[in-house]
Structure 1
Amino acid sequence: MGRNTRKRRTPLATKIVAGAAALAVGGGGLVWANFYASAHEDHGGHNRTRSAGAQVATIDCPDVGQKIRDVPDRARGEVDGELATMDSQITNAYQRLATTRRAQAGDSQFVQNSILGPLKDRRKAIIDRIQLEINRAGGKADDNLDELAGCQGRPADQQNGGGQDDGQNGDGQNGDGQNQDDNGNGVAGPVADDFIDINDVQPNSRNSRNGLAANGDGGSTGTFVTDCGVNENNLFNSDNLIAAPGVDNGAHHTHDYVGNQDNDAFSSDEDLANADTSCQNQGDKSTYYWPVLRLQDGTQEFDANDQGGGAEGNIGKILKPAQAELKFVGSQQGDVVAMPKFLRIITGDAKSFTNGDANANTSWSCSGFEDRQVTDKYPLCPEGSQVLRTTNFQSCWDGQNIDSANHRDHMAFVQEDGSCPEGFQAIPQLQVRLAYDIPTPTVENGQVQNPYAVDSFPEQLHKPITDHNDFINVMDEDLMNEVVDCINRGEDCQ
């Protein structure tokens, strides 16, 4: 497979991380060497290996980017760059965590003294620079951001509900954490507990507080479908133009792209407007992208030794969707208005495993079982059934901004009654449905064989709850007006 080959700038922080990652690569990915004594216990019909002494499986850092609000426009680029450097620091620290297991076994304070302590100091320096950049640009930086500098270690099976655990001095050595199983692949995750038989999922049980569908029996009931293919052009990169513009490998995982064909970290709005598109309707140059799914079957992909790919634990065969349905729907409460050109929307949270589920917007299911949706498990589908990833984007816009400092505040989900919060107005809601033909992994004795997993930041351990989706509107004015008119008239168009 190919990738976007535009000549790319590489910040110093990324080069440093790349060097560290090269030392950590083994068997196509980050080595997870477990030197802890272990014991077995029966849990839910499976034998699970647990450490006799607690093992720090990953690094949990407060998400500074989601806490930032008042950033003047002229400081946005600098702040986004600093946040991307902070992500690289976490990646580097996780790689050190994953490759120093023997030292950790011999020194209970190794993680705190050699990994988390220095990481806190480096994060504090970046937070200081962020505050300075905001203030220089005429904003008012939050003086409490320093409180977010410290990180903690924690077991793989302890998901953050939004707070911090009570590890002693943040070293994560106080609990009985699960050994992170590499399934023989040399990377951390997914594990058997990340999968569930779709037949064991209760119908209509998914918490729908996020990702509510906007359309219904009332209001604007039309739909508009745009066909942009399934990435037949093999456009892949590990950038994130929305969250980390101008930063090479800002996502630390690989994305599929459909629609706009000039989408990388360095694409300007002018580049997007002048690009080719994979959409059948050539008036739609929007960019639609999501992290790839991979089958961890030993395949050496094009990025097996690259940052964003195997060098950061994202290994195996990239699975393209058999179908990618991109549909815009209306509002239950009335008409929708046009999206502004270059509106950016991120939905879901690539760091939900450590951040908690406040911004998670994951929906996994199987074809034929669409009433059974899960957020924190990968479904095991019966033969002949496809794995489904479905995302309903935020559909309430603040009426002013195409982006915001944390890339979220300018958008909102509809409320329970289908209306937008005060100060927001309804726009067409993007719904993305991806269907995959994936051989069903087998789970035996607490082990999963040939698992599939979403690409993720290394420290997120390929958890299904980290799935996310991104969109930049680059429809021309005539097409956007056609979308709005179709939806408001109650018609089904494409």
Structure 2
Amino acid sequence: MGRNTRQRRKPPATKALAAAAALALGGGGLLWANFHASAHEPDQEAWGGSRTKAATAQVATVSCPDVGQRLTNVPEPARQGVARELAGLDRQITEAYARLAATRDAQAKDPGFVRNAITGPLGEKRAATIDRIRITIQRAGGSFDNALEQLAPCTTRSTNRTDAGGGQQNGGQPPNGGQRGGIGGQAGNGPVAADFVDITKVAPNVQGTPRRTGNASTGTFTTRCGVNANKNHNTDNVIVAPGVTNGAHHLHDYVGNQRIDAFASNRTFLRGGTSCQNRDDLSSYYWPVVRVQDGTRDFDQNADGGGKEGNVGRILTPVQAEIKYVGSPAGKVVAMPRFLRVITGDAKTTTNGLANANAHWSCTGFENKVQLTERYPICPRGSKVVRSFAFQSCWDGRNTDSANHRTHVAFADPASGVCPNGFKAIPQLTMRLVYAVPPPVIQNGQVRNAYAVDGFPEQLHKPATDHDDFISVTRNGLAEKIADCLNRGQNCA
């Protein structure tokens, strides 16, 4: 990826606590009624379901290389067509994961079932889609790296745990958000106990911020846009998958611009209205919702991107959503261009790895001490869960987007705050989302009343998959006012 992949950690800066938790054992489908565990020594769970012992190394999830990350040079006329094909790749993986989750009996009986019935056909579909991407790019006059054809095959991931839980066979759910074993969670695709940690037992890991130079832009600009109390949701992603319904495969909260969906255009943005108090801020700020898996269901239980894709439980509205622009410790900033699109973090770290991860989880009272990427915090009584984001703060000076939605922006050097060569410092967007989350309880290696961020079903609701999206849309000189405020060292709102 671009330079930003190695220098993503702007304040709050963190280090991972430990190696990523092993993917928990793959037993269980997206729907409770589809779960039939393999290998058979049943005993009774506390919530009345059955528990089974499963063979080791059972498949947990589908793992496919991310083609979109590698497409760094797509001609403008080809980008929308390529985006549609990339969305098709995501849909293929989602369908394959659903099949994986619903065929545990067949997998137990036939060691070759997953390869022959799931990953093999998936690879063939992906190869055809990648070839269509090649044709689309070349027709637009671009060049195609034939090495991308090698990204078609997919694998599966497994663990060596042997406690794959069974489930009720009557289509019910465990009461009180009970975990049915397997890869955990109310829908059978995570999270698991290993994804959580008692924050009071974590050593401080927050690093210092770069030293300010005499030319630093020390101001702040706060925009107040609410917490999405009006429930403006959809499962689209107009940045990554324009023109594709359910392109995100998970639900977003939207604040700011009120007319963002897969079919919105720059012209739409300017007519969208805003939830922000500053009516000149038509920017879109959107992020995956957080849900509590306590056995309840929300409005999208039977919808694409919701329960049909393993995103289940009660949606939590943040109790606070703080959006603030900050300056550069190394110098002055230039105004953001209108329609700049920025994604921070990576929704697919379970299969991509942590190169582009930018998740920060903490608790009120601990934010200056502990920030977590690979664990959800269990907060003490009286403390709330906090998600925070610090976006890329360097811009290439030319493009409002790029083919992979990353290389037109970059992170400043974490030690000096200086942008990479060829990049200009822009106001850094920071966001802090606070949630009143009922604390999860871990008992006997399982988590009850888990909470998790929405995601692609095969990503297993891992904390590191958290991400945030932004489209800069301002009018009446607001972008310039924000930059001027920061450069003057003022605190504006």
Q: Give the TM interval when normalised to the shorter protein.
A: 0.7 to 0.9
Map 1:95-114 onto structure 2 (within 5 A): 95-114=98-117
Q: Which amino acid aligns with 2:341?
A: R
> Pairwise CA RMSD of aligned residues?
2.1
Distance 1:177 1:463 in 2: 20
1:281-304 deviation per Cα after TM superposition (whole angstroms, max 9, x unaligned): 000000000000000122221111
Distance 1:479 1:130 in 2: 38
Corresponding residue SS for 2:222: strand
Q: Which amino acid aligns with 1:320?
A: T
Distance 2:267 2:162 in 1: 49
Residue of structure 1 equivalent to 2:399: 401
The reply to whether residue 256 of structure 1 matches residue 261 of structure 2 is no
Alpha carbons of structure 1 residues 344 and 32: separation in structure 2 relative to 1, 3 Å: farther
Map 1:414-493 onto structure 2 (within 5 A): 414-415=412-413, 416-493=415-492
Structure 1 unmatched ranges of 5 or more = 1-23, 41-47, 158-174
How far 1:216 sits from its partner (Å)?
4.6
**Is residue 230–residue 258 contact of structure 1 (8 Å, CA) maintained in 2?**
yes
Alpha carbons of structure 1 residues 484 and 50: separation in structure 2 relative to 1, 3 Å: farther
Q: Which amino acid aligns with 1:396?
A: C
Residue of structure 2 equivalent to 1:201: 202
Alpha carbons of structure 1 residues 77 and 357: separation in structure 2 relative to 1, 3 Å: same
Map 1:95-494 onto structure 2 (within 5 A): 95-155=98-158, 179=164, 181=182, 183=184, 185-204=186-205, 216=212, 218=214, 219-370=216-367, 371-415=369-413, 416-494=415-493
**Is residue 62–residue 154 contact of structure 2 (8 Å, CA) maintained in 1?**
yes
**Is residue 214–residue 329 contact of structure 1 (8 Å, CA) maintained in 2?**
no
**Is residue 292–residue 451 contact of structure 2 (8 Å, CA) maintained in 1?**
yes
Corresponding residue SS for 2:227: coil
How far 1:69 sits from its partner (Å)?
1.4
Q: Which amino acid aligns with 2:467?
A: H
Distance 1:151 1:39 in 2: 33
Distance 2:183 2:350 in 1: 18
Alpha carbons of structure 1 residues 64 and 25: separation in structure 2 relative to 1, 3 Å: closer
**Is residue 347–residue 361 contact of structure 1 (8 Å, CA) maintained in 2?**
yes
Alpha carbons of structure 1 residues 480 and 444: separation in structure 2 relative to 1, 3 Å: same
How far 1:402 sits from its partner (Å)?
0.3
The two structures have a TM-score, normalised by structure 2, of: 0.86
Higher mean C-alpha displacement, 141-150 vs 296-305 = 296-305
The two structures have a TM-score, normalised by structure 1, of: 0.85
Corresponding residue SS for 1:302: coil
The reply to whether residue 26 of structure 1 matches residue 26 of structure 2 is no
How many residue pairs get matched? 439
**Is residue 31–residue 310 contact of structure 2 (8 Å, CA) maintained in 1?**
no
Residue of structure 2 equivalent to 1:58: 61
How far 1:203 sits from its partner (Å)?
0.4
Q: Which amino acid aligns with 2:273?
A: D
How far 1:217 sits from its partner (Å)?
6.5
1:109-162 deviation per Cα after TM superposition (whole angstroms, max 9, x unaligned): 11111100000000000000001110000000111111100111012x6xxxxx
**Is residue 36–residue 55 contact of structure 1 (8 Å, CA) maintained in 2?**
no
Corresponding residue SS for 2:94: helix
Alpha carbons of structure 1 residues 50 and 251: separation in structure 2 relative to 1, 3 Å: farther
Alpha carbons of structure 1 residues 36 and 423: separation in structure 2 relative to 1, 3 Å: farther
1:317-349 deviation per Cα after TM superposition (whole angstroms, max 9, x unaligned): 100100000000001111000110000000000
**Is residue 187–residue 312 contact of structure 2 (8 Å, CA) maintained in 1?**
no
Q: Which amino acid aligns with 1:299?
A: T
**Is residue 222–residue 492 contact of structure 1 (8 Å, CA) maintained in 2?**
yes
1:264-294 deviation per Cα after TM superposition (whole angstroms, max 9, x unaligned): 0000100001111000000000000000000
**Is residue 215–residue 221 contact of structure 1 (8 Å, CA) maintained in 2?**
no
Corresponding residue SS for 1:418: coil
Distance 1:438 1:114 in 2: 40
**Is residue 39–residue 52 contact of structure 1 (8 Å, CA) maintained in 2?**
no
Q: Which amino acid aligns with 1:90?
A: I
**Is residue 361–residue 373 contact of structure 2 (8 Å, CA) maintained in 1?**
yes
**Is residue 33–residue 98 contact of structure 1 (8 Å, CA) maintained in 2?**
no
Residue of structure 2 equivalent to 1:3: none
1:202-257 deviation per Cα after TM superposition (whole angstroms, max 9, x unaligned): 10257x9xxxx789565100000000000022100000010001000000000000
Q: Which amino acid aligns with 1:123?
A: R
Residue of structure 2 equivalent to 1:8: none
Distance 2:475 2:446 in 1: 50
Percentage identity across paired residues of the two chains: 56
Distance 1:356 1:373 in 2: 19
Q: Which amino acid aligns with 1:391?
A: F
How far 1:183 sits from its partner (Å)?
4.9
**Is residue 56–residue 177 contact of structure 1 (8 Å, CA) maintained in 2?**
no
Corresponding residue SS for 1:346: strand
Structure 1 residue runs of 4+, over 2 Å off? 24-27, 30-34, 36-40, 48-53, 175-187, 213-218
Alpha carbons of structure 1 residues 108 and 25: separation in structure 2 relative to 1, 3 Å: closer
Distance 2:234 2:196 in 1: 27
1:352-377 deviation per Cα after TM superposition (whole angstroms, max 9, x unaligned): 11100000000000000111111000
Corresponding residue SS for 1:390: strand
Alpha carbons of structure 1 residues 283 and 458: separation in structure 2 relative to 1, 3 Å: same
Corresponding residue SS for 2:59: coil
Alpha carbons of structure 1 residues 245 and 177: separation in structure 2 relative to 1, 3 Å: farther
Alpha carbons of structure 1 residues 38 and 336: separation in structure 2 relative to 1, 3 Å: farther
